[in-house]
Amino acid sequence: MRTLSRRTLLQSGLASAVVLGGHIPGFLRRALADERLSPSIHDSIVVAIQLAGGNDGLNTVVPYENDIYQRSRPTLALKKKDVIPLQQGVGIPARMKGVFDGLEQGSFAVIHAVGYSNPSGDHDRAMEIWQTAQPDNPHPETGWLGRAADHLVPSPKAGASPIPAASPSVFISEIATPLTVIGRASVCVKAADPASLTLDASFGFPAIGEGTSKFPSAACESLVSDAIAASLRTAERVAEASREDKPGNVSYPSTLFARRLEWLARLIRAELGTRIFCTEMGGSGPGSFDTHSLQANNHGELLGEFSDALAAFLADLARDRILERVIVYTYSEFGRTVRENGRRGTDHGSAAPIFLAGGGLRQSVVGEHPDLREMENGGVKHTVDFRQIYATILERRLGIPSQQVLSASFEPLPILV
Amino acid sequence: MRVGAAAGSLLRVAICAAAVVGGCLIGGTERLSAAESPAESAAELCKWIPAEAVAAVMVSHPADLLRKLDETPAIRELESGLRLAELLERNQELRQLRAAVSLLEGQLQSDWKTILGDMTAGGLVLAVLPDNQVVVIVEARDAEVLRKVNDFVLNLARLDPGNAGKREAVREAEYRGVRGWALSPEESHAVIDRRLVLCNSAELLRRIIDQAQDGGEGLAGSAQFKAAVASLPASDIGVFVDFRLFRDLPQVQEGLRQARSPLSVLFLAGLTEALGGADWLALGLAYEDESVRCALRSGGDTALCKDFGFAMPASPGEGVLPNLDVPGRIMALTMYRDLRDFYARKNELFPERTSGLIFFENMMGIFFSGRNFTDEVLTELDPHVRIVVARQQFTPETGVPEVQIPALAVVFRMRNPQRFGPIVEEGWQKALGLINFVRGQDAQPGLILDRMEYQGVKYTVSYFSTVDEDLSQPLPMRFNFRPVVIAQGEDLILASSEGLGKSIMDAIRASADSDRPLPDVSALLETDLAAVAQVIEDNREALIRQNMLAKGREREEAVKEWEHLKRAVELFGKSVVKVGVHDGRPALDAKVSVKLSTLEQFLPAE
Amino acid sequence: MTSHCGELHDREMPHAGAFPASSDLWQASSHPMSRRDVAHLLRRVAANPTAEELDGFSGQLPDAVFLLLTEESPRYHEFEAELRPLEEAAVRSNAANAYRTWFMWRLVLSPCPLREWMTVFWLEYFGLGIERVADLALFDDVVRSMRRLALGDYHELPAAVLLHPAFLLNVRAPLNYRSDPSEQVGAAILRTCLGYREQDFSAQAGELARAFSGRFINRGRLRVSEFERDTGEKTILGRSKAFEAEDIPRLIAEDARAASWTARRLYRWFCCDTRMPSEEFLSPPAEQLRQNGSVAAAVRLILSSQWFFSEAVRRQKLRRPVEFAAALLRALKGRITLRTVTELTAMGQDILQPTTLDGWSEAGNYFSPLALIQRMNLAAKLVGTDENFGGGLARGAVETWGDDLPNALTDLMTDQAIPVEIGSRWEDLRARYAASSGDRERVAAAMIYLLAVSPVFQTA
């Protein structure tokens, strides 16, 4: 059962009844005054999007009037005509119109210069650090969202069922499940395509309650029977949410990434109780964003693909007001060098901006664009530790004390309502 | 299968056999009208087919087919072989069919081939309509033979013990003066003059009768149909498909969408897009000297094909270079591909930036020292691209890899060999260096680079050292590779094995005088499946193991599957597939040789 | 439970009856096994019984059956010889998925199933993972050692594993310098062999790591550098001496806590993973390990005991995906294929890669709603005709059992003697199977599927 939140209170009309009664309690007055409803920490959903390869932050959030930027990138630097202005002298590529519209509407936010100290320039190690939030651990076993999911599965205590009521996390892609969502206890469900989560009806559907023995202590079977019933209900909801002919279906681009987001939106809409979703763009191996050569065209196309797909995804969630409960964040293993190389590309850098999207964002732009005079590993220096963002999401959306997941204390950022 | 039922299906089997078997092996050299397309002779028959038919198969002269089959030595051998006779006896269904055929032969005082030929002398059409409706129309030499066969089948059905006690083993009715019969709910037929009309529903039979009596052009009058059959060369069998119904199916759309990767776009070069915009498809089949020739055409919106100009010969008379013939050749492909144009249009052709594509460009940037890949590298190559795959031969002295992979080579033509040759050489050596570095990081052995000379041409070869290997044991897979890059005149050869590289050098020299482009051909693919069969033999153990793991089979089962695969491959010989241009759209012509004498091993046993 | 001996994820379950105070229940059962007893035993040691085992082992004592399940018969050696080429080819070509398939094949088809599943037990115990080790030849070598010692000498087993190069690679410690010992090595030993939690490590992880200094893995081989060895005194498990890596397995094998911990792991594996008994209750099997040094003796004690055959232990385990698939295929002589194995990996259980050093997730976590959908879909694929998943399960079942198939299925896949309410659909399928001649395979597939996704089949 969902905990009463401000949103449900308003929806229930109770607030109106109280107001009509002439007496407005102080707490309610303050709650109603906040026009932006904060999602409940009991039913918020986190969507992690992994961008593999190292996204070039400088050509994503572009300091187009910065002299160092222009001089360092004779062939790659974007000009004023190529961008949509965001802040003074900073814009995003015109190809990312969808993201820009989201920034204007308040469903998108960009956080400047996110990274960590002594960044790794190795794809695998750097990605592992972002996935695990453990830069000092040479042998990480679990990801930060996996550890968060561990908090969402039954803990061993008297009388508790060992079977989770909802699948704690889902990963949508064909590549191997990333460490991000690997937990010690929780099992992340991997779905390469919609068929894998659509119940195969070749032999009919299992009947609820049947197939249990009369064994007096068959407590396990009874639990499984309940679990099967729950899974059949889940399958129905997934099927219903996947119907192609539903009115108001948003049209997605035909790219692979967009199809994944479309499928993800359906799963969210199905209200499965799953709170952590993960998907990716860029594949496995070095990754699509690893633009060492001929970056201009490729990176532009990638950002366009990303922007169009994400815009459709948010629009899809926005109908039925599901977007309010969702927070999307992107991560990539590093940014790229400020200076372009001789192959009209860039090499491995350090910090980069990340995007947040969804409901309850306090502001569209967080922080200042990094100073290009101060560099680290040839890239921009970080001003925000990425674990602060994780702490923010853990505490403000998942309701999990961040220290239990991150094994250290990081100050959450005041970016989410 | 009961005798009655066998006889009852004799009609269907015989008619369909003429189409299906004929689709594989049909004769043509002694056709009554050698140069006509199928619809010209079947035009009258197609007038009886409703215009909304979604597909039609037309056989102009089935009698000629039967005669040709009879005269083919391999078929005679098959028929006369003791094994075939034994198999016919062993299989119960075939035994029953044979009994029914014998009865018919006795009744009509003729042999079954003559009977079949007489029944189909005027041609045959099989058409599929929406809602799973099927009709077959056959024109006989005369009405008498049709009447006799029909009477025989009806009598057998009435006498069939399986139908005993049934109120109506054969249902009979009359519609617009035409008598019709039904042997089962899914079968209705009528004889109209010299024509037999066979449908899978009574309702459809009535419509055909209406069409026959009321006149009209039917399918033959359809614009798509006319265009389709006019596009085909002389064929023995023609197939028409109204593709408008199929192209919007989600499965078809998904299949076409998946074909948009860089390599598939490069190789298919608009074939799938031609399908996506096609209103109709036409397939023509002909049999010549133990080979099946087929031609595929499509029609419709040509706008989609404009993106694929890189694969269309730029001027009349321009086309692909002949394929290279080397020892052990499995496959050779020659293409006309303006690679610069192709890559310049990547945003339109394959917009998704996969990690593979990005990695490729990263590597090209390294190997070509930052040169613009489109305008400074690909532009140096002319549109003639050739690929060769050939079986490798290993000796115990040099060691035999456990899995023997055929060698692959790609041959380009350089516009300016003097300038571009050294650039390629440098890039190649960088690539090998990078491979060695990465392998070294993983503690794997690396390639040794060497410069060799052959026929006065210096080239770079690389190979793995066998110093630490026991040559008496199967070697790791890496010993399949001895990569080379060879610049011989304007030809640039990149090969996975030195042997193939040198063979290609020889082939180019040998064909230098006759190396003329084949006009208006965009791609030409030649395969020799006999060589493939040899590769299957070379890799027997590896394939058996793979089968065991992939399908969970016991070893004996996996061995049988391997043998079956090898036999299936040995059924075919050489084949040629040619892609050209027809009316602004890609058009495909193919010829496949079939070793009829090997068919015997595929006959069923009890 | 003392704090240094790490807690398993103890959980209380709705359970009939508490743990008896007496440890007399560890005494060997003297009753010949009923069919139901055999099924219970085989579900725990081999994922599921076969028809031959149900027939052959009924009436025998558990002790005797234990010997049959562990002996290396001529049939076992034939089996080994048949599969060895697949193993060697997979290792030679570094084909990890082919290797997984071969391994799973062993689990389902081996005449010595207890040995195979004990190998899986030790794999999970030491947290060794095929992807973490990365070197397939090394991984295969350590797996062979684990199989050889799976029911062997408890003192020899830690040595075979902890001193193997694969163990260091598994925790990303190929280089162990004296000046920079790899603490993760020590942490791994404390967690896997002694059940320590991270908060209990204290300095021991570092001391253990020092003992491993000087060990380097190079091109798949272990090289010991005298210069890099730390020859100083170390305090490990309460003892102080200039211990070397070679001493560590002995220290562990002699440690009472390690024996207790291992006994607990064995109990969880064979008996119940939802409710843990006290240390005293588990002292008999722990003693078998510590005093006798025999894994076989400890396992035999457990599997022959009255406690094991008591109602308190039956049906108390949930099947994880690998056990589920193995049970179905073993019962009905199905085929293991590459696709099945990769599907199991996608379901969250890589047969050769425990999720963390603690092992795979708890079984219950594989029963979340979406995970169950995947499980049911896998069942449909396994009973269907897709050759990529074997394709012949239903056909084989019809050929083997003919008219008696429904009874055989309930015998193999449900619980003997205790009625199982399979429901009206089962009765309908039974009737159709009895009546049908041409459609039997399809009906059989539906029957198998129905049982495969029933609650009773999800438990062991």
Predicted TM-score (pTM) of the model is 0.86
A175: nearest CA partner in chain C: C346
Cβ-defined contact of A283 to B356 (cutoff 8 Å): yes
Between chains, do C337 and B477 touch, taking CB under 8 Å as contact?
A: no
Q: Find the helix or strand (DSSP H, E) in which B27 lies.
A: none
CA distances from A119 to A126, A346, A349 (A): 7, 17, 9
A123-137 residue pLDDT tens: 999 999 999 999 999
Query: Which residue, among B147, B124, B127, has the nearest Cα to B199 in the 3D structure?
Result: B127
Q: Looking at residue B588, what is its pLDDT?
A: 87
Alpha-carbon distance of C338 to B532, in angstroms, equals: 25
Task: Provide the chain C residues 242-301 that lie in CB contact (below 8 A) with chain A.
Answer: 274
Angstroms from C89 CA to nearest CA on chain B: 8
d(CA B186, CA B189): 10
Chain A nearest C-alpha distance from C101 (Å): 18
Tell me the nearest-neighbour CA distance from B403 into chain C, angstroms. 9
Distance of CA C107 to the CA centre of its chain: 10
Chains that touch C (3 or more CB pairs under 8 A): A, B
Q: Does C420 touch chain A (CB under 8 A)?
A: yes
Q: Which pairs count as long-range contacts for B182-186, CB under 8 Å and 24+ apart, including other chains?
A: B183/B8, B183/B153, B183/B154, B183/B157, B184/B8
d(CA B568, CA C377): 34
The answer to whether B358 contacts chain A (CB < 8 Å) is: yes
Nearest CA to B462 among B440, B486, B443, B442? B486
Q: For chain B, list residues with pLDDT below 50.
A: 1-39, 606
Instruction: Give the model confidence (pLDDT) of A109-124 as tens digits.
Output: 999 999 999 999 999 9
More confident residue, B398 or C191: C191
Q: Hey, are the CB atoms on A210 and C422 less than 8 Å from each other?
A: yes
Structure tokens at A384: 């925000």
The shortest CB-CB distance from A215 to any of C358, C383, C415 is to C415
Distance from CA of B356 to the nearest CA of A (A): 7
Question: Residues of C numbered 1-20 whose beta carbons fall under 8 angstroms of chain A's beta carbons: which are they?
Answer: 9-17
CA distance, residue A33 to nearest chain C CA (Å): 39
Question: Which pLDDT score is estimated for B29?
Answer: 28
Burial degree of A26 (CB within 10 A; 0-12, 13-18, 19+): exposed
Residue C226 touches partner A, C-beta closer than 8 Å: no
Q: Collect all residues of chain C within an 8 Å Cβ-Cβ radius of residue A182.
A: 355-356
ipTM of the complex: 0.91
> If you average pLDDT over residues C50-72, what whole number do you get?
91
User: Which of B:252-271 have CB within 8 Å of A?
Assistant: 257
Smallest CA–CA separation between C388 and chain A, in Å? 16
Q: Quick one: angle between helices C35-46 and C62-70, nearest 10?
A: 40
Rounded CA separation B233/B231 (Å): 7
- Closest residue of chain B to A258, computed from CA coordinates: B352
Q: What is the pLDDT of residues C400-420, one digit of tens each?
A: 999 999 999 999 998 765 667
How big is the A-C interface in CB pairs under 8 Å?
222
Residue C180 has pLDDT above 90, yes or no: yes
3-state SS assignment for residue B343: helix
Nearest to A220 among C17, C182, C459 (CB): C459
Q: For chain C, which residues make up each domain, given as ranges?
A: 5-11+318-458
Determine contact, residues B259/B196, Cβ cutoff 8 Å: no
Give the closest residue to C391 by CA, choosing from C339, C334, C323: C334
Cβ–Cβ gap A298/B358 under 8 Å:
yes
Q: Counting Cβ atoms within 10 Å, is residue B467 exposed (0-12), middle (13-18) or buried (19+)?
A: exposed
Subunit contact C89:B545, Cβ cutoff 8 A: yes
Q: Which residue in the set B443, B476, B550 is minimally distant from C338, CB to CB?
A: B550
Query: Helix C369-383 to helix C393-401 angle, to the nearest 10 degrees?
Result: 60
Q: Which residues of C touch B477 (CB under 8 A)?
A: 93
Contacts B359 to A, Cβ<8 Å: 285-286, 290
Minimum distance, in Å, between the CA of residue C436 and any CA atom of chain B = 18
For A86, A131, A287, A399, B131, the CA distances from A50, given in Å and listed in that order, are 24, 9, 10, 23, 47
In this complex, do C337 and B549 lie within 8 Å of one another by their Cβ atoms? yes
Q: Is C357 on the interface with A (CB under 8 A)?
A: yes
Best mutation target among B439, B477, B548 (most C Cβ atoms within 10 Å) is B548
pLDDT score of B494: 97
Residues of C with Cβ-Cβ distance to B549 under 8 angstroms? 86, 98, 101-102, 337-338
pLDDT digits (tens, 9 = 90+) for C224-283: 999 999 999 999 999 999 999 999 999 999 898 999 999 999 999 999 887 788 888 899
Percent of chain C whose pLDDT exceeds 90 = 74
Q: Is C336 on the interface with B (CB under 8 A)?
A: yes
- Residue C405: both structure tokens together: 């198939």
Distance from CA of C86 to the nearest CA of B (A): 7
CA end-to-end span of chain C: 28
3-state secondary structure of B335: strand
Of residues B582, B586, B602, the one with CA closest to residue B594: B602
Instruction: Indicate yes or no: CB of A344 within 8 angstroms of CB of B370.
Output: yes
Nearest to A305 among B352, B356, B363 (CB): B352
How does pLDDT run across A179-219, given as a tens digit for each residue? 999 999 999 999 988 888 989 988 887 777 676 666 655 67
State whether B552 and C334 contact (CB < 8 Å): yes
Residues of B in contact with C93 (CB under 8 A): 402-403, 476-477
C388 interfaces chain B, CB cutoff of 8 Å: yes
Question: Contact B358/A52, CB-based, under 8 Å?
Answer: no
Q: Please indicate whether, in this complex, the C-beta atoms of A293 and B351 are within 8 angstroms of each other.
A: no
Q: What is the pLDDT of residue C417?
A: 57
Q: Is the pLDDT of residue C301 over 50?
A: yes
Q: Which residue of C has its CA nearest to B554?
A: C335
Measure CB to CB from residue A294 to each of B257, B365, B369 and give the nearest one: B365
Contact B545 C92 (CB under 8 A): no
How far is the C-alpha of C347 from the C-alpha of A319, rounded, in Å? 32
Task: Give chain B positions within 8 Å (CB) of A292.
Answer: 362, 365-366
Residue C315 has pLDDT above 60, yes or no: yes
- pLDDT given at position A234: 93
**pLDDT mean over A323-340:** 96
DSSP A47-76: EEEEETT---STTTSB-TT-HHHHHH-TTT
Chains touching chain A, criterion 3+ CB pairs below 8 Å? B, C
- Does the distance separating the beta carbons of B551 and C391 come in below 8 Å? yes
- Over 50: is that where the pLDDT of C457 sits? yes
CB contact under 8 A, B549 and C101: yes
Closest approach of C79 to chain B, Cα-based (Å): 12
Subunit contact C334:B555, Cβ cutoff 8 A: no
Least confident of A18-27, C50-59, C267-276: A18-27
The rounded distance, in Å, linking the Cα atoms of A331 and A356 is 10
Contacts of C102 in chain B (CB under 8 A): 549
For residue A364, is pLDDT > 70? Answer: yes
Which of C85, C334, C390 has its CB closest to that of B545?
A: C85
| Contacts by residues B569-572 (CB-CB < 8 Å, ≥ 24 positions apart) | B569/B529, B569/B532, B569/B533, B569/B536, B570/B529, B570/B530, B570/B533, B570/B595, B570/B598, B571/B595, B571/B598, B571/B599, B571/B602, B572/B529
Give the residue from B549, B559, B565 with the most C CB atoms within 10 Å of its CB, the best one to mutate: B549
CB A400 within 8 A of CB A411: no
Candidate from C418, C449, C453 with C-beta closest to A215: C418
CA B281 from centre of chain = 15
Q: What is the mean pLDDT of residues C326-335?
A: 95
